[in-house]
Amino acid sequence: MRFLLAIICCKLLRLALRLLGRGGTALPGQVALRICPDMLSRLSRGVRVAVVTGTNGKTTTCRMLEKMLRDAGEDCFANRSGSNLERGITADFVSNADIFGRPRRRLAVIECDEAAFRRVCGELAPAVCVVTNVFRDQLDRYGEVTHTLGAIREGLDRAAHATVCLNADCSLTASLAADAPDRVRFFGVDAPLGGAAAVSDAPRCIFCGAQYEYDYHTFAHLGGFRCPKCGYSRTEPDVAVVSVGALTSEGSAAEVRIDGELFDVAVGLPGGYNLYNAAAALSAATALGVERRSAVRSLAHMESGFGRMERFEIGGTRITMVLVKNPAGCDRAIDYLRSLSGECTAVFCLNDNAADGTDVSWIWDAGFERLFDAGGAELRLIVSGERADDMRLRLKYAGADEGDIRVLRSQDELLEAVTSAGGEVCILPTYTAMLPLRAALAARCGRKEFWK
Ligand SMILES: [Zn+2]
């Protein structure tokens, strides 16, 4: 009875919010869970679930996996709205169920926040779990990386029947295999990707504390690591990017080995780090039974989503939006900016609301200095957001001429500057800075809001 009441309340609340022009899933889910605390486990009975967690790349990996499943003829749903905590996930399961709580689709791709992973895994009994990577995120939200890792480990313990897809190149993530060796599928990149090597998130062996040695680096602390003392080292991945071809602003080409079979892969998303997301998605899709060749083919037809390398074209201006939230993700966005040539407008929007992380000191750990190395694009700099002054100071210390940095405090000014810039514009916003900006740009392009 409570179960049915919870479903009805959740559906009605969501409908009401939609009629008000809002897309929230948190409140309806929260109300439903209050009425019926075990409803997520009841709603997911009979649904095969893939849960994706990790610090960076969750959303893109989910979009890739969803596309692979759809292209293979599977009828699946996903929590696309961006709410990846238990309450948002619950609301999405309610939307996928009829009024009696019976699922309409038998397969789900669920993005899950690291902090919610333990509970969500306990409720969903997933068939596949993916851990993309573990980086230092906003310290005020999660504490140290080892704490995040511990939370993910507890979640995997609860997902006793899941195939676990782990990043072989991340010494932190790969260490999770020690608890579930017989059901692990590794993915990774066998070659350097030209990203910045910064091992500060995980310099020392997680098992014995000795300093890692590296055969090669891909991004940050990811790469061919080994511990000289205890022998803990990178495992040969089941799904591996074996060589990297062209990396352009439209996408990347690579050769991928899946369980011993080689494929030429085109990934329709720019940024070399999307090869990691592609490998993660391939490993999960093939674990769910998608044919290898079909999964590979899906990657060529990807569209970016909701602030992750999302593109807008307005007049003669090409705008790319790259959500940033921590040093590692920001370094990847900087890699992307460095890959551009000619003149380019770079916009940094820094907010410090709860959803952004209230401590913005992480900007000092990202390598903005590299933007001013010789040989890159000629950048016109704009800073905005509630912490625009912190951002301006950071760029000044990174090597920018202070007089060259425009500070735009109002949303209208910023929008005007961005849309009239001409040429290439790259915006790096934190989460709450992204939301209004993205909505305004999407409206100008006639693109729908994500919940419609
Ligand atoms: Zn060691």
pLDDT of amino acid 54: 95
Rounded mean pLDDT, 115-129: 96
Confidence of residue 306 (pLDDT cuts 50, 70, 90): low
Confidence of residue 452 (pLDDT cuts 50, 70, 90): very low
Q: What is the pLDDT of residues 401-419, one digit of tens each?
A: 988 999 999 999 999 999 9
Q: Does one domain contain both 286 and 369? A: no
pLDDT of amino acid 451: 38
Buried b / exposed e along 439-448 (16+ C-beta atoms within 10 A): ebbbeeeeee
Compute, in angstroms, the gap from residue 414 CA to the centroid of ligand 1.
49
Compute, in angstroms, the gap from residue 55 CA to the centroid of ligand 1.
23
pLDDT of amino acid 147: 87
Domain boundary among 299, 325, 358: 299
Is residue 144 over pLDDT 80?
A: no
| Domain-located, residue 137 | yes
Is residue 304 over pLDDT 80?
A: no
Q: Does one domain contain both 270 and 336? A: no
Compute, in angstroms, the gap from residue 221 CA to the centroid of ligand 1.
15
Is residue 369 over pLDDT 50?
A: yes
**Amino acid symbol at 77:** F
Per-residue tokens: 426? 């790259």
pLDDT of amino acid 9: 93
Compute, in angstroms, the gap from residue 380 CA to the centroid of ligand 1.
45
Question: Can you name the residues that pair with 237 across neighbouring β-strands?
Answer: none
pLDDT of amino acid 359: 86
Per residue, what are the HEC states of 189-247?
Answer: ECCCCCCCCCHHHCCECCCCCCECEEEEECCCCCEEEECCCCCCECCCCCEEEEEEEEE
Q: Does one domain contain both 179 and 250? A: yes
137 contacts 144 by C-beta, under 8 angstroms? no
Confidence of residue 338 (pLDDT cuts 50, 70, 90): confident
Q: Does one domain contain both 107 and 187? A: yes
How many of the other CB atoms lie within 10 Å of CB of 432?
16
Is residue 124 over pLDDT 70?
A: yes
What's the Cα-to-Cα distance from 147 to each of 176, 233, 348, rounded to whole Å?
A: 13, 21, 30
Compute, in angstroms, the gap from residue 11 CA to the centroid of ligand 1.
51
Compute, in angstroms, the gap from residue 434 CA to the centroid of ligand 1.
41
Rounded mean pLDDT, 81-109: 91
> Where in the sequence is the domain holding 69, given as residue range(s)?
2-299
Decide: residue 96, CB within 10 A, 0-12 exposed, 13-18 middle, 19+ buried. Answer: buried
Rounded mean pLDDT, 47-51: 97
Confidence of residue 77 (pLDDT cuts 50, 70, 90): very high
Compute, in angstroms, the gap from residue 189 CA to the centroid of ligand 1.
22
Highest mean pLDDT among 46-60, 242-256, 347-361, 426-440: 46-60
Compute, in angstroms, the gap from residue 359 CA to the centroid of ligand 1.
32
Q: Does one domain contain both 130 and 173? A: yes
pLDDT of amino acid 86: 93
Read off the CATH number of the domain in which 321 is found.
3.90.190.20
Compute, in angstroms, the gap from residue 232 CA to the centroid of ligand 1.
5
Is residue 421 over pLDDT 80?
A: yes
Q: Does one domain contain both 31 and 122? A: yes
**pLDDT averaged over every residue in the chain:** 89
Could you list the beta-strand ranges (E) of 41-145: 48-53, 76-78, 107-111, 128-131
Q: Does one domain contain both 292 and 332? A: no
| Domain-located, residue 449 | no
pLDDT of amino acid 83: 80
Confidence of residue 307 (pLDDT cuts 50, 70, 90): low
Confidence of residue 22 (pLDDT cuts 50, 70, 90): confident
Is residue 11 over pLDDT 60?
A: yes
Instruction: Indicate the number of domains in the chain.
Output: 2
Compute, in angstroms, the gap from residue 329 CA to the centroid of ligand 1.
27
Domain boundary among 270, 299, 328: 299
pLDDT of amino acid 138: 57
Q: What is the pLDDT of residues 252-297, one digit of tens each?
A: 899 999 999 999 999 988 778 889 999 999 999 999 999 999 999 9
Compute, in angstroms, the gap from residue 58 CA to the centroid of ligand 1.
28
pLDDT of amino acid 305: 57
Compute, in angstroms, the gap from residue 207 CA to the centroid of ligand 1.
5
Compute, in angstroms, the gap from residue 211 CA to the centroid of ligand 1.
8
| Domain-located, residue 93 | yes
Compute, in angstroms, the gap from residue 365 CA to the centroid of ligand 1.
26
Compute, in angstroms, the gap from residue 263 CA to the centroid of ligand 1.
34
Is residue 449 over pLDDT 60?
A: no
| Domain-located, residue 450 | no
Share of the chain above pLDDT 90, in %: 62
pTM over 0.85: no
pLDDT of amino acid 249: 63
| Domain-located, residue 289 | yes
| Domain-located, residue 328 | yes
Compute, in angstroms, the gap from residue 16 CA to the centroid of ligand 1.
55
Read off the CATH number of the domain in which 120 is found.
3.40.1190.10
Compute, in angstroms, the gap from residue 95 CA to the centroid of ligand 1.
47
| Domain-located, residue 433 | yes
Q: Give the containing element (helix H, strand E) for 146.
A: helix 145-158
Rounded mean pLDDT, 350-379: 86
Rounded mean pLDDT, 116-121: 96
Q: Is the dihedral of CA 394, 398, 402, 403 positive or negative?
A: negative
| Domain-located, residue 451 | no
Q: Does one domain contain both 247 and 348? A: no
Q: Does one domain contain both 374 and 279? A: no
226 Cβ contact partners less than 8 Å away, ≥ 6 residues apart: 212, 213, 214, 215, 232, 233, 234
Q: Does one domain contain both 34 and 166? A: yes
Q: Does one domain contain both 202 and 313? A: no
Compute, in angstroms, the gap from residue 213 CA to the centroid of ligand 1.
10
Q: Does one domain contain both 287 and 434? A: no
Confidence of residue 190 (pLDDT cuts 50, 70, 90): very high
Domain boundary among 299, 324, 344: 299
Compute, in angstroms, the gap from residue 171 CA to the centroid of ligand 1.
10
